A = this chain, B = another copy of it.
Amino acid sequence: MAEPTALILGVGAGLGASLVRRFRAGGLRVAAAARNGERLVGLFAGDDHISSHQVDATDGAAVAALVDKVERESGPVEVAIANSAAWKIAPVIDLSAEEFTAIWQAGCLPAFHLTKAVAKNMIARGRGTILFTGSAAQMRAGAGFGAMAVAKSGLRAFSQAAARDLGPKGLHVAHIAIDGPIDSARTRAANADHNRLVAPDGIAEAYYQLHMQPRAAWSNEIDVRTFAEWL
């Protein structure tokens, strides 16, 4: 009963939920994980091919244990997605060292932990897809974006290096830079012009298409945004 599985770290009601649904619709089992695993249970109730998990994505041992559990209980992880971030917009002198470090740990480090945890078995199988949710706004080192730009520029650099290390072993690593706020109840309330909100189902489709690419025509970096918004 072990079936190909997509493991998604950092699932909430927004992009994470769209990713769960899209990879499920593509015929994979899905393991959805979040810091607060309880919240996920209700979200995907009724589909026993979707499992919910609690994990601290900044904790390498916890991520490794989760991957072991998912491979044992659901099936080989063919797709692994790191979809976490932390936010604080403030001048660099108003950030504490704890905040600066925590934003890097939440926005960059989980990609490393996840890659380490899934790569060994993926390499043995000769294939696998590893995708990272980046942010164009957070990579842009504007005033107030010091901590986030460090985290998300680091994530992009990690994606490039991991792709070069793991591509020749058959692993497809890619970075998706989302340029603009993702459509949600919260962002609809905060943005008068809803044309400026990026559709989570549309983003999830882009992730799925990356997974479907043949290895002789892989993308490593794509951006996603709306027609109306160019930061």
Q: Select one of B113, B152, B161 contacting A97, CB under 8 A.
A: B113
Query: How many A residues touch the partner, as a band?
Result: 35 or more
| A109 part of interface (Cβ distance < 8 Å) | yes
Chain A residues close to B by CB (< 8 Å): 60, 91-93, 95, 97, 100-101, 104, 108-109, 112-113, 115-116, 119-120, 123, 139, 141-146, 149-168, 170-172, 183, 195, 197-199, 201-203, 205-206, 209, 213-228, 230
How many copies are assembled? 4
B-chain residues with CB within 8 Å of residue A183 when the two chains form the complex: 216
Of the candidates A93, A97, A202, A222, the one having the most CB atoms from chain B within 10 angstroms of its own CB is A93
* A224–B215 CB distance below 8 A: no
* B199–A206 CB distance below 8 A: no
Q: Select one of B91, B104, B115, B217 contacting A226, CB under 8 A.
A: B217
